[in-house]
Amino acid sequence: MLVALWAGDERDRGGGFRIHAALQNLEGLLVLSLDLPAADPRYAPLDDIFPCAGRMQRAARDLMGVTAEGADARPWLRHASWPDAYPLQRDFDRRRSAGAQQETYAFVRVAGDGVHEIPVGPVHAGIIEPGHFRFSVVGEKVLRLEERLGYVHKGIEKRFEELPLIEGHRLAARVSGDSAVAFAWAYCMAAENLAGMHPPVRAAWLRALCLERERIANHLGDLGALGNDAGFAFGLAQFSRLKEDWLRTNARVFGQRYLMDAIVPGGVAIDLDDGELTELRQEIPRLEAEVRVLSKIYGDHAGMQDRFISCGRVTPPLAARLGLAGMAGRASSQSWDLRCNFPCPPYDQLGVRMQTHRNGDVAARVNVRFEEIFESLRLCRLILDQLPAGTAATPFDPPPAGAFGVGWVEGWRGPVLVALESGDHGSIRRCHPHDPSWQNWPVLEHAVMDNIVPDFPLINKSFNLSYSGHDL
């Protein structure tokens, strides 16, 4: 399975360009690198083997100028802002104006009697980031959906190169705000790997506590939104209340609602005293009791189940072919969870119980969310009861230049990867953060086929993929 694909610029070291691919197999993570000539940086495409590679290849071309020969050459991220320039190349002039030019994007057209198109976005209601969705429909039945994302291009990967390595965790935590803990942990894991160090045992357990609290918060929010999209406003009200209480506890105990700066190279920035441990313990049974009641209400509500069951189905064979990852993958019988398959401390001592379903529809993704909340609450209880004594952080000494490390963490949405290379004097030479939404956005296009247009918001929310993590 392809985890990530990204490119690097080695011309300042006398080389050319370099394309990297991170692959997951039964043994763990394998990172392969291929050197490309500076004059003509082309490589054999991977999307015929791994369909999810298509957009990663297009992004690598837009940002670094390396080309997957014979593959889809449409622009993905830059949207005509930097014609004939590549912002991740080392000689890119960032002072150069990025004025957009007129551009026609070649959406795939569907023709036939009664076929018409419905364009949605890129500007959306509320506060979500931009994305364009082009539906080809007959009546209300969706024949095809094509997405176009990457409208913002925040320059995150280039910004990493301006930061000291010891401070990069703060930017990593802001790649996708709902996954702050996962990205910060993956960054710190990569930094610690290239420095040849391990965080204190207590710090690893506190990191896991933060990660499970992040997972619970996101599942609570999504379950409320899914109820609302099915016309059940009561569910939205109740889950919004529960999520808000959970986040307020984060703010009181950890100092931040979304725990963006809790994890640092060498450990964690916070520790818990006996009073805070007691408060966190007492919160668990209260939340569990309320979620169990809501789970039964959702399961017994005929109208909601009619909307959920068979809606937006991704069969297990299709999920395997397209590389559907994380929570959505487990709802389609893809039995992969880094906490179980490749557990890092303390997950190797917690015995995580993977939650999977086979139907791959909205109902299955809802069920996985409920079950993962209960499992994460169990893990939080274990962590609080068994939290080792000791220090929460150790000093972090920057590694020598040219060291390479990878961090890989099971976030709430799926596996988050950060590849990190050190530069001179404790700087960052290259950092590539990868969100599992790269794998899962293309699958959403398949999930909506043969469903009706009004079901798209429900299907979309059942995946709840990241715009920000997909638009670096």
**Helix-helix angle 233-254:274-300, to 10 degrees:** 170
| DSSP, residue by residue, 24-65 | EETTEEEEEEEEE-SSS-EE---TTT-TTHHHHHHHHHHHH-
Domain residue extents for the chain: 2-106, 156-470
- The correct answer on CATH 3.90.1170.50 for the domain covering 156-470 is no
- Cα(246)–Cα(233) distance, integer angstroms: 20
Residue 97's pLDDT is 59
Q: Is 2-106 a CATH 3.30.460.80 domain?
A: yes
Calculate the dihedral angle through the C-alpha atoms of 194, 197, 198, 203, rounding to the nearest 10 degrees. Answer: -90
Residue 213 one-letter amino acid = R
C-alpha to C-alpha distance for 182 and 435, rounded to whole angstroms: 10
Model pLDDT, residue 45:
96
Instruction: Return the exposure string of 263-282: e unless at least 16 CB atoms fall within 10 Å of the residue's CB, then b.
Output: bbbbbbbbebeeebbeebee
At residue 176, what are phi and psi to the nearest 5 degrees? -145, 110
So what's the pLDDT on residue 99? Answer: 62
Task: Tally Cβ neighbours within 10 Å of residue 455.
Answer: 18
**Global pTM?**
0.96
d(CA 71, CA 53): 10
Q: Are 462 and 365 in contact (CB under 8 A)?
A: yes
- Report the pLDDT value the prediction gives residue 121, as an integer from 0 to 100: 83
Among residues 172, 165, 174, the alpha carbon closest in space to that of 197 is found at 165
Two tokens at 90?
A: 């080392």
Tens digit of pLDDT per residue, the chain (472 long)? 999 999 999 999 999 999 999 999 989 999 999 999 999 999 999 999 999 999 999 999 999 999 999 999 888 887 767 667 898 999 887 766 556 666 778 888 888 888 999 999 888 877 788 899 999 999 999 999 999 998 888 889 999 999 999 999 999 999 999 999 999 999 999 999 999 999 999 999 999 999 999 999 999 999 999 999 999 999 999 999 999 999 999 999 999 999 999 999 999 999 999 999 999 999 999 999 999 999 999 999 999 999 999 999 999 999 999 999 999 999 999 999 999 999 999 999 999 999 999 999 999 999 999 999 999 999 999 999 999 999 999 999 989 999 999 999 999 999 999 999 999 999 999 999 999 999 999 999 999 999 999 999 999 999 999 999 988 8
Q: 265 — phi, psi (to 5°)?
A: -55, 125
In this prediction, residue 84 carries a pLDDT of 74
- Nearest Cα neighbor of 388 from 110, 201, 226 is 201
Please name the residue ranges forming H helices in 301-389: 302-308, 316-322, 326-330, 338-341, 347-350, 362-386
CB atoms within 10 A of CB 159: 15
Burial class, 412, CB count within 10 angstroms (exposed 0-12 / middle 13-18 / buried 19+): buried
SS3 442: helix
